[in-house]
Structure 1
């Protein structure tokens, strides 16, 4: 009689730390390169690196989470009280102005799941934490710029489409995104 397979450790949620940044950047690169080809042509995947990536302001603000599975980071994502809707430190059009929770929607930002950990509840765990934290700061709504790869998860978690739009890149490729939102 053989032993049953060892169960995976329960995922643990924690705030991201500055020392996580190299691991997070690598995870984001793998997620873009390996998960977006199901939704975008090769030139779209390449262009996505220009408009996506690590936003260190989220880590500094204490609003960026990681999910650990054992010793590995299985995913990351966060929320923001700042006006920037999407993009990494290198992206154009960033705006660090603080949002007013009475009138503005908090931003869900930079959601990535390691390709080895998709469909395991990592994204839902992060979304729940983001929504709870934004709610605790008085926000009644959240919005995001969803990639085509993220739309199915966000719809399943109660987000609705506000408007599709495109992020233009230096190559001329326009990365399709959808502004999505949810009441808290």
Structure 2
């Protein structure tokens, strides 16, 4: 498996991974109506690969099997202070629980360190809370996420303080901001 920066050519595969992940894995934390609203109206045009965010894909045998995104500007929806926000880690269900998500998250943490971020925050879907717990995030609060105009669901706000790496290992990640 290889993790790399996403390009516009990845948009269709990223969209397909996103939809498949929500449909198959979202049922572990949400009812059918919430899952349908969460996955509704996805389009390859929804994914911005240029700009300040880090957008990474994991690929195996030339196919995108997961993706992750990090923003240097945490959203106002977060209650906790953070230097960067993990805006998503999604893995195709055929590759779930094989280390793809962990590898993507570690790559985002490397980018965050290059950005000199000390803390990360995110809203974890119910089905992903254990994944983030295992990665060293701690729970801040439970809150509501709007999946659509008329459907919402509970998510968990989480935060992680990053440990510092040596300058040499931080340089390997390259500056992406």
TM range, smaller chain: 0.7 to 0.9
Name the structure 1 match of 2:96: 118
- The answer to whether structure 1 residue 43 and structure 2 residue 33 are counterparts is yes
Q: What does residue 142 of structure 1 align with? A: 120
Q: CA deviation at 1:137?
A: 1.0
Aligned to 2:108: 130
Counterpart of 1:29 in structure 2 is: 19
After superposition, the C-alpha distances for 1:121-159 in whole angstroms (9 at most, x for unaligned) are 011101111111111111100001111121111000000
SS at match of 2:51: helix
Structure 2 residues not aligned, in runs of 5+: 163-177
Alpha-carbon distance in structure 2 between the residues aligned to 1:158 and 1:168: 26
Distance change >3 Å, CA 175–CA 12, structure 1 → 2: same
Matched, 1:66 2:57: yes
CA distance in 2: counterparts of 1:40 and 1:179, whole angstroms? 17
Is 1:174 the counterpart of 2:152? The answer is yes
Q: Verify the 8 A CA contact 1:67 1:73 in the aligned structure 2.
A: yes
Q: Which runs of 4+ in 1 moved over 6 A?
A: 51-54
Worse-matched range after superposition: 51-60 or 76-85: 51-60
Per-residue CA distance 1:28-77 (angstroms, 9 max, x = gap): 01111111112211011112236988763454336111111112211100
The CA RMSD over aligned residues, in Å, is 2.4
Q: Is the 8 A contact 1:141 1:182 kept in 2?
A: yes
- Shift of the alpha carbon at 1:171? 5.2
5+ residue gaps, structure 1, are: 1-10, 86-92, 94-102
TM (norm. structure 1) is 0.77
The normalised TM-score by structure 2 is 0.80
| 3-state SS of 1:24 partner | helix
Max Rg structure: 1
Q: 1:35 to 1:160 in 2, by over 3 A?
A: same
